[in-house]
Amino acid sequence: MNKKLYSLPKKEIIKSKKDFEKIIRTGKKFTSGHLKAFFQLGDKRRVGFAVSNKIKGAVRRNKIKRWLREIYRREKYTLNDSTEMIILVDYITKDENFHTLKEEVLQIFKEINENFNKSA
C-alpha cells in the first residue's frame, strides 16, 4: 500500500478565514445529521474543518476535528479532484462516535458526487 496515496498534506487543508467564508457563501450546502458541508469546484482538492463552540470542551472539539481529518484522509479519493469543501459540525451528543460520524460524512460525499455528476 502506498502511504503517500492516503496522506493529507498541509497544502490540501483550508485554514484562511477568507477561503472559509468564500466557500460557505458561494458553495452548495449539504446536510446530514450533525454535519453541514459546503462545496464548490475549484482548481484542486482542498478541505476545511470546523466544529461549533456549542460543543463544550476544547478537547472534545479537537477530537472531533481529528476524526473528520481521518475520515476525509481515507475517503477523499471518492470525490472529484477539484472539490473544495468545508465540513462543519454543529452539534454532537456524547454517545456519538467515530463510526456514526463516518457514516454521515460518507452520506455527504455520496450527495456531492451525485450533484457533481449532474452538473458535469
Quick: pLDDT tens for 5-60: 678 888 999 999 999 999 999 999 999 888 999 999 888 889 999 999 999 999 99
Q: Which domain holds residue 34?
A: 8-119
The model's confidence at residue 83, banded by pLDDT at 50, 70 and 90, is confident
Number of compact structural domains in the chain = 1
Q: Establish if 101 belongs to a structural domain.
A: yes
Q: Establish if 1 belongs to a structural domain.
A: no
Question: What is the full DSSP assignment across the chain?
Answer: --TGGG---GGGB---HHHHHHHHHHSEEEEETTEEEEEEE-SS-EEEEEE-TTS--HHHHHHHHHHHHHHHHHHGGGS-TTEEEEEEE----TT--HHHHHHHHHHHHHHHHHHHHHH-
Q: Establish if 38 belongs to a structural domain.
A: yes
pLDDT number for residue 6: 76
